[in-house]
């Protein structure tokens, strides 16, 4: 058993001297610092004066039995892992013990391997809790240092994006956000808006490619009564709605040429003319535009005005595609898991190594939006406490599901092939059982000691 530099402390509470002696001898060899108590009352005195990482406690004892100890010591053992033992155990007894704070239950008589596995599982649980705590602290650190608005990332490219966004928020300059679809361009715009002096004003998003050309001008600039059939009243445009705040012109590359010159005038003069109106209206609006197109190429092709491009391109923020910052994928996955597990009330702690490998190998044509959708789907489908490969879309695993031998190993060595196949099967069995060694051993049709030996030999980490 792998131990930390400081041996873990373990208290054995049992009225049978032989049992205390046997467990003490066995567990000292495993590296634990052992203390013993003859009954629940003595055990209670021990936990009042010192902390124990683990407690092995019998249930049937004179003076104070194990259940009474659990109840009386609940507050003092909150940071300890308690494993109950009994020769008179039942499912009801085990459930009652769990309700009182016990982590596990072992029926007597038991083999040394059962104690070993119970403690090993408890150690893994403690390790997982500490790892989750470290991850939460790391996410908090990243949230403080490497977060902008609702975006997170730790890659150099995203740190540059956050730095530019933070600087842009301090001024009213026009910003052009570029990047492929799904990279989070609107999130950048919202981050700039809410981090700046205009945060109390409106943030008005406009999809320039989603509004028919015949309606776009009146949507942007408004209209006066009688300007066209159906205009039975004056109506403010979106620029007026954003007065004192920010307008986000998404897919600016889709803006028709006829409207580009009118937008240019708004940027230059800070005023709009409603459709059918004779007068202009002053507006105080910050403009953030975004596009997935190459606007320089659009200018060369004559589809986008050069003067408008330069007016928009005062400060450019480019969002890299997810495939170029795959190091952010684990962080993004955990972020989305935390969101969706709360939304769907599911106890999902993370992603198995096999599933993460698949996600890291994917090319992500839909970028962060695609990843978010995949994680939402996986959280809904997951039956275990972690997301497994089978929770991902089938097409994600086609390459790994191949039965061709060349996809598994090279050469002709039967020994090497056997090791590779064994490692893959053990990993699959552990993933499918949520890391439960006992169930995995049954699936693999091997003994638990044999499984533990192979896990160590193949350095399988779950």
Residues 274-318: pLDDT tens digits? 999 989 999 999 999 999 999 999 999 999 999 999 999 999 999
Q: Is the pLDDT of residue 4 over 50?
A: no
Q: Note whether 113 and 1 are within 8 A (CB).
A: no
pTM: 0.57
Q: Is the pLDDT of residue 415 over 90?
A: no
Token reading at 330: 């684990």
Q: Note whether 28 and 70 are within 8 A (CB).
A: no
Token reading at 204: 């008005």
Q: What does the alpha-carbon distance between residue 122 and residue 50 come to, in Å, rounded to a whole number?
A: 20
Top-tier CATH class for 322-401: mainly alpha
Does the fold of domain 155-320 match that of domain 9-128?
A: yes
Outline where DSSP puts E strands in 160-245.
175-178, 203-207
Give the residue with greater pLDDT, 108 vs 200. 200
User: Which helix (H) or strand (E) element contains residue 308?
Assistant: helix 306-312
Would you state the pLDDT for residue 5? 46
| CATH number for the domain whose boundaries are 9-128 | 3.40.50.2300
Q: What does the alpha-carbon distance between residue 49 and residue 112 come to, in Å, rounded to a whole number?
A: 29
Would you state the pLDDT for residue 404? 43
Residues 6+ apart with CB under 8 A from 153: 142, 146, 159, 161, 162, 325, 328, 331, 332
Q: Mind listing the pLDDT tens digit for each residue in 44-91?
A: 999 999 999 999 999 989 889 999 999 999 888 888 889 988 887 677
406-462 carries CATH number 3.50.50.60 = no
Q: How much of the chain is helix, strand and coil, in % rounded to 5?
A: 50, 15, 35
Q: List residues bridging with 281 in a β-sheet.
A: 272
In this prediction, residues 128-137 reach a mean pLDDT of 70
Neighbour count for residue 151 (Cβ, 10 Å): 22
Q: Note whether 224 and 234 are within 8 A (CB).
A: yes
Predicted confidence band at 147 (pLDDT cuts at 50, 70, 90)? low
Report CA-CA distances (Å) from 319 to 152, 181, 184, 299, 374: 12, 10, 8, 21, 21
Q: How far is CA 448 from the centre of its chain?
A: 32
The mean of the pLDDT values for the chain is 87
Would you state the pLDDT for residue 401? 39
Domain residues of the chain, as ranges?
9-128, 155-320, 322-401, 406-462
> Strand 175-178 vs strand 286-291: parallel, antiparallel, or unpaired?
parallel
Q: Note whether 350 and 361 are within 8 A (CB).
A: no
Give the residue with greater pLDDT, 150 vs 411. 150
In this prediction, residues 138-159 reach a mean pLDDT of 72
Give the residue with greater pLDDT, 198 vs 135. 198
Neighbour count for residue 206 (Cβ, 10 Å): 22
In this structure, CATH architecture of domain 155-320: 3-Layer(aba) Sandwich (3.40)
């Amino acid at each position: 058993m792998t131990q930390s530099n400081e041996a873990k402390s373990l208290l054995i509470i049992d009225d049978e001297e032989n049992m205390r002696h046997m467990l003490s001898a066995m567990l000292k060899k495993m590296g634990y610092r052992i203390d013993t108590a003859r009954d629940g009352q003595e055990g209670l005195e021990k936990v009042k004066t010192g902390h124990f990482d683990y407690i092995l406690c019998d249930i049937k004892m004179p003076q104070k039995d194990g259940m009474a100890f659990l109840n009386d010591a609940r507050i003092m053992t909150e940071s300890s892992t308690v494993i109950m033992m009994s020769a008179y155990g039942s499912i009801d007894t085990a459930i009652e013990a769990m309700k009182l704070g016990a982590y596990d239950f072992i029926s007597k008589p038991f083999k040394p391997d059962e104690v070993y596995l119970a403690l090993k599982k408890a150690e893994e649980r403690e390790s997982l809790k500490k790892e989750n705590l470290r991850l939460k602290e790391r996410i908090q650190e990243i949230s403080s240092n490497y977060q902008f608005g609702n975006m997170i990332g730790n890659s150099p490219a995203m740190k540059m994006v956050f730095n530019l966004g933070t600087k842009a928020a301090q001024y009213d300059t026009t910003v052009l956000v570029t990047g492929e679809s799904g990279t989070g361009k609107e999130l950048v715009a919202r981050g700039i808006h809410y981090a700046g002096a205009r945060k109390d004003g409106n943030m008005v998003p406009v999809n320039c490619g989603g509004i028919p050309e015949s309606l776009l001008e009146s949507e942007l600039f408004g209209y006066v009564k009688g300007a066209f059939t159906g205009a039975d009243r004056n109506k403010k445009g979106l620029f007026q709605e954003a007065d004192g705040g920010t307008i986000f012109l998404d897919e600016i590359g889709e803006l028709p040429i006829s409207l580009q010159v009118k937008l240019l005038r708004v940027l230059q003069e800070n005023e709009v003319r409603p459709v059918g109106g004779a007068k202009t209206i002053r507006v105080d609006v910050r403009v953030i535009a975004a596009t997935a197109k190459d606007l320089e190429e659009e200018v060369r092709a004559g589809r986008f005005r050069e003067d408008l491009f330069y007016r928009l391109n005062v400060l450019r923020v480019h969002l890299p595609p997810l495939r170029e910052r795959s190091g952010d994928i684990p962080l993004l996955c955990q972020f989305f898991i935390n969101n969706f597990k709360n939304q769907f009330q599911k106890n999902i702690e993370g992603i198995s190594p096999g599933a993460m490998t698949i996600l890291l190998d994917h090319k992500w044509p839909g970028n962060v939006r695609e990843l978010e959708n995949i994680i939402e789907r996986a959280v809904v489908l997951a039956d275990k406490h972690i997301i497994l490969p089978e929770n991902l879309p089938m097409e994600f695993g086609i390459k790994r599901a191949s039965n061709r031998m060349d996809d598994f190993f090279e050469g002709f060595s039967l020994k090497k092939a056997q090791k590779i196949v064994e490692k893959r099967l053990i990993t699959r069995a552990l993933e499918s059982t949520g890391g439960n060694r006992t169930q995995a051993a049954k699936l693999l049709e091997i003994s638990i000691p044999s499984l533990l030996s192979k896990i160590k030999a193949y350095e399988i980490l779950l």
